[in-house]
Amino acid sequence: MAKVICMFNHKGGVSKTTTSYNLAWMLREKGKRVLLVDADSQCNLTNIALGEDEFAQFYLDHPDRNIKGALSPAFDAKPVMLEAVECVTVKGQEGLFLLPGSFELSEYEVSLGVSFTLSDTMATLKNLPGSFAFLLSRTAEHHQVDYIITDFRVRFEATV
């Protein structure tokens, strides 16, 4: 089972993204397989990992291959299971994978916040808090990683 390292702080500019990327890079240098998860809707980690030139094109080519697309069955109440994400291998870094972020992830924050308090009374919200950890564990298994490193800015940190 992969170890999870979770970088979170509600303040911006405190090195969550930089530390996530460098830690992942160093672990991979030491021979570990690492999954980087961009759970900040600013998508800076995705930008760093894909590189400035590939970043915009990636979203045009793969509009749903990101964290919001992967969580959509849970948050948009679709009757299908969450599937492991086919993550992006960081260029030249075999064994270092990126689950790309989404500029629209913040749309799910309200539902998530409500689910923290109302899931006992509203059955439809019950699966939301656990969906993130479920997705990460499926995706980590799929890529057989040793570590998951998550870069958070918002409420999703409470779900891992």
Ligand X SMILES: Nc1ncnc2c1ncn2[C@@H]1O[C@H](COP(=O)(O)OP(=O)(O)O)[C@@H](O)[C@H]1O
Beta bridge partners of 135: none
Name residue 112's amino acid: L
Selected from 10, 12, 89, 103, the binder of ligand X by CB under 6 A is 12
Q: DSSP class of residue 64?
A: T
Binding residue for Mg ion, selected from 21, 37, 43, 44, defined by CB under 5 A: 44
Dist CA 137 CA 18 (whole Å): 23
| Position among 4, 6, 8, 18 found at the interface with ligand X (CB under 6 A) | 18
Please, how many CA atoms are within 13 Å of residue 37, restricted to the half-sphere of its CB? 32
Q: How far apart are CA 141 and CA 120, in angstroms?
A: 30
- 131 lies in the binding site for ligand X (CB under 6 A): no
Burial of residue 122 (number of CB atoms within 10 Å: 0-12, 13-18, 19+): exposed
Q: Which amino acid is at 125?
A: L
User: Could you tell which of Mg ion, ligand X, none binds residue 28, using a CB distance below 5 to 8 A set by kind?
Assistant: none
| E strand or H helix that includes residue 16 | helix 16-29
Among 14, 114, 118, 122, the residue binding ligand X under the rule CB under 6 A is 14
Q: How far apart are CA 98 and CA 91, in angstroms?
A: 10
- By CB under 6 A, name the one of 2, 17, 71, 132 that touches ligand X: 17
Stretch that binds Mg ion, among 12-20, 28-36, 48-56, 125-133 (CB under 5 A): 12-20
The site for ligand X, by CB under 6 A, has a size of 8
Contacted entry of ligand X, Mg ion, none for residue 15, CB cut-off 5 to 8 Å set by kind? ligand X
Least gap, CB of 77 to Mg ion (angstroms): 30
Q: Is 26 in the site for ligand X (CB under 6 A)?
A: no
Kindly list the residues in this chain that would bind ligand X in the complex (CB under 6 A).
Answer: 12-18, 44
Kindly list the residues in this chain that would bind Mg ion in the complex (CB under 5 A).
Answer: 16-17, 44
